[in-house]
Amino acid sequence: MAQLVLTNADITVNGVVLSDRANQVTLNYEVEAVEVTAFGNTGRAFTGGLQNNTIDIEFHQDFAATETEATIFPLVGTTTTVTVRPSSASTSSTNPLYTITGTYLAAHTPVSGTVGELATTSLSFQGGTLAKTTS
The predicted model gives 97-116 an average pLDDT of 96
User: What is the domain-level CATH number for residue 85?
Assistant: 2.30.110
pLDDT of residue 50: 97
| Residue 34 structural domain | 10-133
Q: Within a domain: residue 47?
A: yes
Q: Within a domain: residue 129?
A: yes
Q: Tell me the residue ranges of DSSP E strands in 15-60.
A: 16-17, 22-28, 31-35, 46-51, 54-60
The predicted model gives 89-98 an average pLDDT of 96
Number of domains composing the chain: 1
pLDDT in tens, 31-89: 999 999 999 999 999 999 999 999 999 999 999 988 999 999 999 999 999 999 999 99
Q: Within a domain: residue 69?
A: yes
pLDDT in tens, 2-42: 788 999 999 999 999 999 999 999 999 999 999 999 999 99
